[in-house]
Amino acid sequence: MLNVEKKGSYVYWFTYKDAEGASKATLPVRFKGKSTDLDLTAMGEKPTAVKLFVMNRTTGNLAISEYPPSKGTQDVDLKADDLQYIRSVRLRIVAEDGKPVESAIVSITDGMNTKMTALVTPADEGVATFANVVSGEATVKVETENLRKTIDSDIEIPEKRDTPGYERDIKVAGDVNTLTIKPKAKEASAKPDSMGAAIVHAVVGFIVIIIIIAVVAIVLKVKGVTSKAALQGLGVELPGDANGQAVPGAPGAPAIDPNVCQFCGQRKDANGQCVCSAIPGAAVPAASTSSGPRLVGFQGVYAGHIFEIAGAMVMGRDADNPIALPNDSTASRRHATISQSNGGYSIRDEGSSNGTFVNGAKITEQTLSAGDEIQVGGTKFRFEV
């Protein structure tokens, strides 16, 4: 059991050496309040050199203590003063002109007389990083070429900070090698208010244009005027259809009878349906003189197509199928089979990728009745007898 003096939000983890002597750490575990059970299972069997780390997630301060697992589960009681370590201390070594040093060896001795050393390379931009440093007084020593002295050799690492870690500059004197600081590009930050205003104006303008187009479209639709007719009324030259006929709805063009299907030329019934039940862009069904069973496409890629059924017929994307759907990329090559059985007809899915549906339900094999709706790939068919 782990107990802390002050209620808060914490994480804990262990560092240890496994049975082979390799240094390892457990994944930090979060807990809230003042106590939690310690999970030792992540360390495996017979860990050695075990240390327990407990960090306050708000302040970044942590406590470090020895933990002897060989004695079984131990209760650990931590007082507020025990959380005296700083997880991350970053010291930026700079010359008297403020430029970071190019390379250095930096040592820090904390209040527990623990000495730590970090190497600074040009890639570090003058920053030496230390972990688990005791707060309070500390001594800093810098070694670098042409160094005369470390100006900020004695520092105070505060226990209470605005950030979980601690950062500060350490000035040194001497003709030390420094890095050239490149100025940040001003274009990205120049006049942010003006750039933001420009973006807002562009978005508002785009929205206004969309609204205007929508209003015009609604007005034209209410008046029964097509977009082509409106453009022709403004004097815009538009090509006619393939036979040179006028565009329906344009000035001088014959009136459109809403009760006649524009695809097959047949009159619509009371529900607005015609013989082909076509959708825009569908092919006009060819006339059929057969009274036998057939599939009539009424929606999708093969809307308007009629396929006569004689015996067992495979339908799918393969062009060699009796019912070939080569233009439907969502149909499988051998998608389904329609066959006659027991005086009627049935449909069987042939392991298609997207499935076969009858009246909206996915099927494996299904007996068909007149009027059933069959979906194969991107097309819906009506089964007629």
177-187 pLDDT tens trace: 999 876 555 54
Spell out the residues 6+ positions from residue 348 whose beta carbon is closer than 8 angstroms to its own.
Answer: 336, 337, 339, 364, 365, 366
**pLDDT band at residue 280 using 50, 70 and 90 as cut-offs:** very low
User: What is the reported pLDDT for 197?
Assistant: 73
CB 347 within 8 A of CB 368: yes
The half-sphere exposure of 23 on its side-chain side, counting CA atoms within 13 A, is 2
**pLDDT band at residue 111 using 50, 70 and 90 as cut-offs:** confident
- Mean pLDDT on 263-282: 50
Return the bridge partners of 85, or none.
62, 134
Q: Of 130-144, 165-179, 273-287, which range is least confident? A: 273-287
**pLDDT band at residue 223 using 50, 70 and 90 as cut-offs:** low
Both tokens of residue 339? 């066959």
**pLDDT band at residue 74 using 50, 70 and 90 as cut-offs:** confident
Query: Strand 136-143 relative to strand 104-109: parallel, antiparallel, unpaired?
Result: antiparallel
**pLDDT band at residue 173 using 50, 70 and 90 as cut-offs:** very high
**pLDDT band at residue 243 using 50, 70 and 90 as cut-offs:** very low
Q: Of 14-18, 182-186, 372-376, which range is least confident? A: 182-186
**pLDDT band at residue 129 using 50, 70 and 90 as cut-offs:** very high
**pLDDT band at residue 272 using 50, 70 and 90 as cut-offs:** low
**pLDDT band at residue 290 using 50, 70 and 90 as cut-offs:** low
**pLDDT band at residue 13 using 50, 70 and 90 as cut-offs:** very high
Look at the pTM and tell me if it is higher than 0.75.
no
- Mean pLDDT on 194-212: 83
**What are the helix and strand counts (H, E) for the chain?**
2, 25
Query: Strand 306-308 relative to strand 294-300: parallel, antiparallel, unpaired?
Result: antiparallel
User: What is the reported pLDDT for 287?
Assistant: 43
Average pLDDT of the chain, as a whole number: 82
